[in-house]
């Protein structure tokens, strides 16, 4: 599943290119996770003012309406600037939006992604999808004191607390494992037992890890690429993720793997306490 860095990398790859574009036509393929919420023709003539992000959701703002987009488990966007883009629709292209500046296409083999129309940011669907999300990990509201207090109120492992999305949004499986390694925290440790010092280390590790991932284009584990078709390289320099049995980059101890909440967790049994 694309995580926050991949979604942000995708946003950055086409946001400036589509800004100011007028929507000309919209074509839908097979049904995605949620219905569009309007007729495709209702979008014709609207202008893209900007592209923002909230957690793992992309927000294509049309002032005042918004297209809320989620990439699901296997989705990816591409932005084609050729006028022949509609003639080259591929298998699993389920949302094709042609604009005056190019064509934005959502490709999603498993169809867990979605594009949902919200008439305004105050629409009920907006609150339903985004209303319960935690703070942005790269925003000003996310600080070590906030993290410490939020973790103290949870009775789950620290890894699960990060993945839940209610405390901080967008720290998915890859980056939670990496951040916990950098902070020296065992992923099975109870979130309620995280100290203030550990919260400070973890807060900084999360921000550093996400920023580092964004700077190298995110992670391409299977078929992720940004909207211009470029792959990410974070997985090539990961400390623990997907490195089962390989030597820890710090102490040379073999990396271990466990399963938490049906997700693989990688950690160093020596460096993480």
Looking at the domain assignment, is residue 216 inside a domain? yes
Q: Which residue among the candidates 53, 56, 78, 243 is catalytic per the annotation? A: 56
Looking at the domain assignment, is residue 99 inside a domain? yes
φ and ψ of 178, to 5 deg = -65, -45
Q: Which residue among the candidates 33, 207, 212, 263 is catalytic per the annotation? A: 263
Looking at the domain assignment, is residue 137 inside a domain? no
Between CA 221 and CA 1 the distance in angstroms is 9
263, 194: one domain: yes
171, 227: one domain: yes
Q: What is the model's pLDDT at position 222? A: 52
120, 155: one domain: no
Q: Locate tokens 């789950």: which residue?
A: 156
Q: Which of 83, 105, 130 is the last residue of a domain?
A: 130
124, 173: one domain: no
Between CA 11 and CA 23 the distance in angstroms is 18
**Does this model's pTM top 0.75?**
yes
CATH for 156: 1.10.8.50
230 in active site: no
Looking at the domain assignment, is residue 93 inside a domain? yes
Q: What is the model's pLDDT at position 3? A: 86
11 in active site: no
Q: Is the distance from CB of 187 to CB of 267 less than 8 angstroms?
A: yes
Looking at the domain assignment, is residue 138 inside a domain? no
φ and ψ of 165, to 5 deg = 90, -10
Helix locations, 70-169, DSSP H: 124-130, 144-152, 158-164
Count how many domains the chain has.
2
Q: What is the model's pLDDT at position 226? A: 58
Q: Which of 65, 97, 130 is the last residue of a domain?
A: 130
201, 108: one domain: no
Q: List per-residue pLDDT tens for the chain, 273 residues long.
A: 688 988 999 999 999 999 999 999 999 999 999 999 999 999 999 999 999 999 999 999 998 999 999 999 888 999 998 755 455 677 899 999 999 999 999 999 999 999 999 999 999 999 999 998 999 999 999 999 999 999 998 989 999 999 999 999 999 899 999 999 999 999 999 999 999 999 999 999 999 999 999 888 877 555 555 556 665 657 778 899 999 999 999 999 999 999 998 999 999 999 999
2 in active site: yes
Between CA 120 and CA 64 the distance in angstroms is 5
Q: What is the model's pLDDT at position 223? A: 54
Range of the domain at 46: 4-130
Looking at the domain assignment, is residue 136 inside a domain? no
Question: Would you mind telling me the total number of residues written for the chain in this entry?
Answer: 273
Q: What is the model's pLDDT at position 234? A: 74
CATH for 43: 3.20.190.10
Q: What is the model's pLDDT at position 103? A: 93
243 in active site: no
Quick one: which H or E segment has residue 115? Answer: strand 114-118
Q: Which of 130, 153, 178 is the last residue of a domain?
A: 130
Count CB atoms within 10 A of the CB of residue 98.
20
Q: What is the model's pLDDT at position 216? A: 85
Burial class for 273, CB neighbours closer than 10 Å (0-12, 13-18, 19+): exposed
Q: Which residue among the candidates 2, 5, 137, 187 is catalytic per the annotation? A: 2
Looking at the domain assignment, is residue 66 inside a domain? yes
Q: What is the model's pLDDT at position 235? A: 72
Q: In what side-by-side order are the strands of the sheet with 114-118?
A: 50-54, 57-61, 66-70, 114-118
93, 199: one domain: no
189, 229: one domain: yes
Quick one: which H or E segment has residue 181? Answer: helix 173-183
Q: What is the model's pLDDT at position 81? A: 85
């Amino acid at each position: 599943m694309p995580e926050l860095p991949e979604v942000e990398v995708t946003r950055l790859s086409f946001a400036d290119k589509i800004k100011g574009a007028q929507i000309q036509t919209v074509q839908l393929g097979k049904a995605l996770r949620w219905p569009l919420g309007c007729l495709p023709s209702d979008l014709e003539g609207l202008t893209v003012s900007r592209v923002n992000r909230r957690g793992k959701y992309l927000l294509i703002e049309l002032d005042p309406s918004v297209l809320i987009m989620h990439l699901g488990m296997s989705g990816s966007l591409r932005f084609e600037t050729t006028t022949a883009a509609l003639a080259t629709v591929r298998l699993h292209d389920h949302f094709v939006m042609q604009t005056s500046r190019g064509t934005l296409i959502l490709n999603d083999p498993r169809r867990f992604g979605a594009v949902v129309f919200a008439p305004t940011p105050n629409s009920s669907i907006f609150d339903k999808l985004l209303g319960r999300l935690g703070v942005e990990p790269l925003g000003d509201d996310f600080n070590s004191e906030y993290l410490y207090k939020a973790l103290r109120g949870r009775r789950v492992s620290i890894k699960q607390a990060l993945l839940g999305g209610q405390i901080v949004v967008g720290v998915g499986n890859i980056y939670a494992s990496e951040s916990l390694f950098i902070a020296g925290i065992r992923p099975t440790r109870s979130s309620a037992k995280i100290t203030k010092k550990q919260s400070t280390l973890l807060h900084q590790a999360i921000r550093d890890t996400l920023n580092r991932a964004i700077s190298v284009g995110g992670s391409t584990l299977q078929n992720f690429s940004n909207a211009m078709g470029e792959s990410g390289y974070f997985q090539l320099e990961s400390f623990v993720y997907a490195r089962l049995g390989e030597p820890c980059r710090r102490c040379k101890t073999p990396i271990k793997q466990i399963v938490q909440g049906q997700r693989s967790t990688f950690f160093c049994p020596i460096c993480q306490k």
